[in-house]
Structure 1
Amino acid sequence: MAGGEGTGTGHEESREAPRPQLLEALEIIGTGAYVVDEQGRVAAVNTRAEELLGRRAADMAGQDAHDLLHRGPHGEQLPATRCAMRLAFHAGRPAQGELDYFARADGSVLPVSWLIAPCAVDGHDTHTLVVFHSREQAQPAGTHPVLSAEPMSELERLALLAETTTQVTSTLNVDETLRRLVALVLPRLADWAVIDLITEHEEVWRTSVVHVDGDSLVHREDLEGPMPPVPEESPMPLSRALRGVASALAGPETYQRAPDSGIAVEQRRLFDATGIRSAAIVPLRGTREVLGALTLGRADKPGEFSTFDLPLIEDIARRASLALDNARLYQRQRAVAETMQNHLLPQMPRVPGLQMAVRYLPAPDASQVGGDWYDAFSLSDGATALAVGDVVGHDLEAAAGMAQLRNMLRAYAWSQQQPASRIVERLDEAIMPITDVSMATLVFARVIRTEEGAWRLSWTNAGHPPPLLVTRDGLAHYLTDGHSLLLGTGLNASRPDATVLLPPGCTLLLYTDGLIEAPGRTLDEGMDRLRQHAASLAHRPLPSFADQLLRRVRPPGLDDVALLALRTPRRADV
């Protein structure tokens, strides 16, 4: 690599297919680019790099890039101690070089300028991006890549595009995508950046108006907000960009004529308020629709925008649009998932003497509507039923199965005044013939007040993590009795019941495994962590207990979390 160790023996084991998203990001860069892993072995190569080096990506994959590519000016093997790229790679810092040499497959050498920078792959900052440009390529006639008082070199342009790709595509948050975009273009290209977005309701919103003030980027909130609708026939630059028609240059004089629309009026106000004398306006086009427009403006920054500047700004906008499109889709899916889950999960009953708090956190993947659920409801004999369960799967089928299971459990528990174990046995018998659920785990419990004023809990556990009981003095232990097989196995075995008197002022916690399971952590470690933090929060009011517990304990796993907390009165005679 641009810095591998050059062992020459370990490349076979790293011939793993590169991620499609990684390849797509490399193709967008538009010049030679490849990514290496922490050992300096080639992990992904774009098409332009294959063309420049005369090598197939499959032949490069897994090989030490330093040994494979780095050469002296006459094709001689470059010693590791003289390789600036290798030294920068091991230091884990960005670096660039104006003239070095890569080996082509035919034995010739390719003079290159290059840039390397650490990059994240699958959320881990253990890879390095290498972008290189052939010094043999002639500049197209008439190109003029000057965007400021000083010319921007081809390497600087490539570095900016590569940085744009890695920065804006590594988040799925719309606001963060826009913030990173603005930080990339200011003050390098302009001293003003304006972003207009088209909302899902086809309305235009001036989302960002930011300018450079010394070393800071300052929002002009007085210039942000709703905009008039996009005119269908207007030839004005912003109107055309918001229709996705074309990019254009503009200045104050562009909007001094009689306005043809409300957007033209707002543009005149923008130029008057900011002092922008030269602007480039380009569309933000998604894969399915126009997302908005990006305007870069110069008020104090030297130089005027010209038509030669538009291809670079359009390239930046294209990369930002892809990231913005993905972020919008992610947030839309997440909103749908959370709305659906919230409608499926019930409201808690009011039980005199008992406090209850419930929480649900969806899985990080917005499209994965979970099968985790909680429930609490009053029974015909005066007891209160509690349930927390997890239907196998993370999709709409799991959510639908969860709703079926919960409704059947309610029906059985209400109609049959029987122990919790018998209710769950009946539920298990009905799962396969009646529902779409393949397997599920469940804790089902009954809480009832005794004649002496205490609260008695009886429960059965079908393959679920055990409930946690925390006294008001901070003693915490798991209720491991009453355990049996999960639901849906087809084995009609009898299930045990367990019973305990709940101490005054105690907190009972029912939860799903997303709270205790995480990559790289054992289940025992997760349970110990939960017990420790639950004990430390025993004195908190119940809503605060639930919130703080989730904030402290929830691991960065891939699962959703359902939680039900119950607290008894501080005195048994209440």
Structure 2
Amino acid sequence: MAAPEHTEADGRAAPDARAATLTEALEAIGAGAYVVDEHGCIIAVNAHAEDLLARTAGDLLGQDAHDLLHGDAHGQPLPRTRCRMRRAFHAGRIAWAEEDHFARGDGSVLPVSWTITPYDTGGRASGALMVFDAPARGREAGAPRPEAVAGPLSELERLALLAETTTRLTSTLDVEEALRRLVTLVVPRLADWAVIDLVTERDEVWRKAVVHAEGGTLVYHEELQGPMPPIPEESPMPLSRALRAAASTLVGPDTYRRKPDSGIAVEQRNLFDATGIRSAAIAPIRSAREVLGALTLGRAGHPGDFTPADLHLLEDITRRAGLALDNARLYQRQRKVAETMQNHLLPQMPRVPGLEMTVRYLPAPDASQVGGDWYDAFPLSDGATALAIGDVVGHDLEAAAGMAQVRNMLRAYAWSQTKPPSRIVERLDEAIRHITDVTMATMILARIEEADHGRWKLSWSNAGHPPPLLISHDGLADYLTDGHGILLGVKAGPRPDATALLPPGSTLVLYTDGLIEELGHTLDEGLQRLRRHAAALAHRPLASFTDQLLRRVRPTDNNDDVALLALRAPVIRM
């Protein structure tokens, strides 16, 4: 029920009426939002924030937002001096963060991205508007979409939309997802049609989205999407100017009824004819370096025509969209380079008569990107075969490059020096600290060679890496914990060796920690999980064994890459 309207002596809206007005405005936001007063206490909150925080409005209103919500990744209270949000609040400036944490009412921790914007709440000092979202959760099924706005947006609604744009677009590094979020931010709130044209890295124009709000559903019109003609250099037409980053423009159907001066003008006339748009606003999407495309908002059934004030708001939105899309493109470009580099660097396995061998590499599925995980196997000068598994610290292109340096140096040392694995690792450790950029790495170097009576002998040295797992033909699984020393890059010194005979038909598994590490669980739990599933799969052919092991053991929330090398000794026939 709405609060009754009354005023204070100075004519301002009384607190209860003002709070009701604020709450009504916040409900139009498609993310969590609340407003705090000059003391940092919550005075209005929307239903989406209640759902995300697992707290009712009664639990939130009147509470100090920092004391109630702000914590670290482990759910511990965050000191005020370390809180970026609180510092921005007291400085009275706009700020945002892509990774932070709020405490939920059920005791769990909510990863969030957020934007804080100063806002005059009517007090002696300025309050602030906070908009936040939980990228991992996404939009809840059935969650209401913002409705069309009839008339100009209020100051709070405008600030909220811009804050929501920043929060939602900067919390993803996927271009397609960013475009989808951009559409949901503006349709049907500002228009019933949205059109996104992007300039590709080959300087081609591609119409990525033509979206119409039909009731509560967004419909993508694929028949209107696709490649576009080139950008004309001199055309004064609105879309052409926007794609050259020249200007934003208000547009009507008559704009494109004159004789077209370019192929893009023809496509725009077809667009207006097909959609029935009577009023449109077009603005460039650009980064600090280049124009990335253009956003067209169109009104056919939406009330009112676009005004210059709407155009200014659209420009603010596209500036934020440009920053987010540029970051996403850079991220995906670096990821592609890193994956390509790593796939080319990871070697083909040698054929060793009498042994079966298989390898797998799974890149990180999310933002941590490709890392420094690697495997290797190669013949040695004395006829034995070297096996290696390792992990260079880091999750980026530098880690992949460091992996290549370590692997190539290891190959050279192992081939040229017929010595136990420990001596090779010692030599490698000395070298990487002086002639590479690698700070730390873990690794197992092993050599395998045929022993008497058709059996195989394994010798190894472990530099801080998870232990190899040996599974017998009958399903007995044990970790080879001997030969374990400190990781590379910390301290040079003598390293241990270990030796074992592989039982006939046994399977040896070398792996990186991405296979066993799981958020909220100990490393021992991960090792037990690997042991249990490896034992159950011991009877499978080696390729099936490896694939099933990865499928069963790798945690679903894993954000790390995984390298795995599996080797099977022959069954001795009597």
Q: Is the Cα contact below 8 Å between 2:94 and 2:118 reproduced in 1?
A: no
Unaligned runs of 5+ in 1: 53-100, 126-145
Looking at structure 1, the residues matched to 65 and 186 of structure 2 have their Cα atoms a distance apart, in angstroms, of 40
Change (3 A) 1:349 1:19: farther
Change (3 A) 1:150 1:230: same
Tell me by how many angstroms 1:519 deviates: 5.5
SS of 1:246's equivalent in the other structure is coil
**What is the aligned partner in structure 2 of residue 354 from structure 1?**
356
Change (3 A) 1:449 1:152: same
Q: Within the alignment, does 1:531 sit opposite 2:551 as a pair?
A: no
Tell me by how many angstroms 1:198 deviates: 0.8
**What is the aligned partner in structure 2 of residue 338 from structure 1?**
339
SS of 2:497's equivalent in the other structure is coil
5 Å-filtered alignment, 1:33-432, equals 38=103, 48-49=118-119, 52=120, 103-105=123-125, 118-120=132-134, 152-352=153-353, 353-362=355-364, 365=367, 370-392=371-393, 398-428=399-429, 430-432=431-433
Looking at structure 1, the residues matched to 482 and 78 of structure 2 have their Cα atoms a distance apart, in angstroms, of 50
Change (3 A) 1:208 1:549: farther
Decide which moves more: 152-161 or 260-269. Answer: 152-161
Looking at structure 2, the residues matched to 213 and 482 of structure 1 have their Cα atoms a distance apart, in angstroms, of 66
**What is the aligned partner in structure 1 of residue 508 from structure 2?**
508
Q: Is the Cα contact below 8 Å between 1:452 and 1:573 reproduced in 2?
A: no
Decide which moves more: 234-243 or 200-209. Answer: 200-209
Q: Is the Cα contact below 8 Å between 1:196 and 1:208 reproduced in 2?
A: yes
Change (3 A) 1:550 1:318: farther
Q: Is the Cα contact below 8 Å between 1:363 and 1:370 reproduced in 2?
A: no
Looking at structure 2, the residues matched to 115 and 448 of structure 1 have their Cα atoms a distance apart, in angstroms, of 68
Looking at structure 2, the residues matched to 195 and 20 of structure 1 have their Cα atoms a distance apart, in angstroms, of 36
Tell me by how many angstroms 1:195 deviates: 0.5
Task: Please tell me the root mean square deviation across aligned C-alpha atoms, in Å.
Answer: 4.0
Looking at structure 1, the residues matched to 458 and 546 of structure 2 have their Cα atoms a distance apart, in angstroms, of 20
Looking at structure 1, the residues matched to 65 and 438 of structure 2 have their Cα atoms a distance apart, in angstroms, of 51
Looking at structure 2, the residues matched to 164 and 491 of structure 1 have their Cα atoms a distance apart, in angstroms, of 51
Tell me by how many angstroms 1:239 deviates: 0.4
Change (3 A) 1:18 1:273: same
Tell me by how many angstroms 1:439 deviates: 4.5
Q: Within the alignment, does 1:14 sit opposite 2:90 as a pair?
A: no
Looking at structure 2, the residues matched to 415 and 29 of structure 1 have their Cα atoms a distance apart, in angstroms, of 56
5 Å-filtered alignment, 1:17-28, equals 17-18=83-84
Looking at structure 2, the residues matched to 351 and 525 of structure 1 have their Cα atoms a distance apart, in angstroms, of 34
SS of 2:564's equivalent in the other structure is strand
Residues 242-293 of structure 1 deviation map (CA, whole Å, 9 limit, x = unaligned): 1111111223332222211111121122222323232221111212211100
SS of 1:321's equivalent in the other structure is helix
Looking at structure 1, the residues matched to 94 and 218 of structure 2 have their Cα atoms a distance apart, in angstroms, of 28
Give the aligned residue type for 2:82.
E
Unaligned runs of 5+ in 2: 1-40, 43-60, 69-76, 106-112, 139-146
Tell me by how many angstroms 1:518 deviates: 5.2
SS of 2:171's equivalent in the other structure is coil
Residues 456-491 of structure 1 deviation map (CA, whole Å, 9 limit, x = unaligned): 433222222101223465543211122233345555
Looking at structure 2, the residues matched to 287 and 21 of structure 1 have their Cα atoms a distance apart, in angstroms, of 27
TM-score (norm 1): 0.73
Tell me by how many angstroms 1:384 deviates: 2.5
Looking at structure 2, the residues matched to 228 and 319 of structure 1 have their Cα atoms a distance apart, in angstroms, of 26
Looking at structure 2, the residues matched to 124 and 301 of structure 1 have their Cα atoms a distance apart, in angstroms, of 31
Looking at structure 2, the residues matched to 197 and 565 of structure 1 have their Cα atoms a distance apart, in angstroms, of 45
**What is the aligned partner in structure 1 of residue 144 from structure 2?**
none
Give the aligned residue type for 1:16.
R
Looking at structure 1, the residues matched to 529 and 564 of structure 2 have their Cα atoms a distance apart, in angstroms, of 16
Change (3 A) 1:530 1:400: same
Residues 155-190 of structure 1 deviation map (CA, whole Å, 9 limit, x = unaligned): 443433333222222211111111111112222222
Change (3 A) 1:209 1:541: farther
Looking at structure 1, the residues matched to 116 and 129 of structure 2 have their Cα atoms a distance apart, in angstroms, of 15
Give the aligned residue type for 1:311.
H
Give the aligned residue type for 2:281.
A
Q: Is the Cα contact below 8 Å between 2:357 and 2:565 reproduced in 1?
A: no
Q: Is the Cα contact below 8 Å between 2:284 and 2:295 reproduced in 1?
A: yes
SS of 1:235's equivalent in the other structure is coil
SS of 1:464's equivalent in the other structure is coil
Change (3 A) 1:269 1:536: farther
SS of 1:282's equivalent in the other structure is strand
**What is the aligned partner in structure 2 of residue 131 from structure 1?**
none
Looking at structure 2, the residues matched to 150 and 379 of structure 1 have their Cα atoms a distance apart, in angstroms, of 77
Tell me by how many angstroms 1:509 deviates: 1.9
Change (3 A) 1:477 1:46: same
Q: Is the Cα contact below 8 Å between 2:116 and 2:131 reproduced in 1?
A: no
Change (3 A) 1:267 1:291: same
Looking at structure 2, the residues matched to 427 and 549 of structure 1 have their Cα atoms a distance apart, in angstroms, of 31
Residues 114-149 of structure 1 deviation map (CA, whole Å, 9 limit, x = unaligned): 97665459x799xxxxxxxxxxxxxxxxxxxx9865
TM-score (norm 2): 0.73
Q: How many pairs were matched up?
A: 486
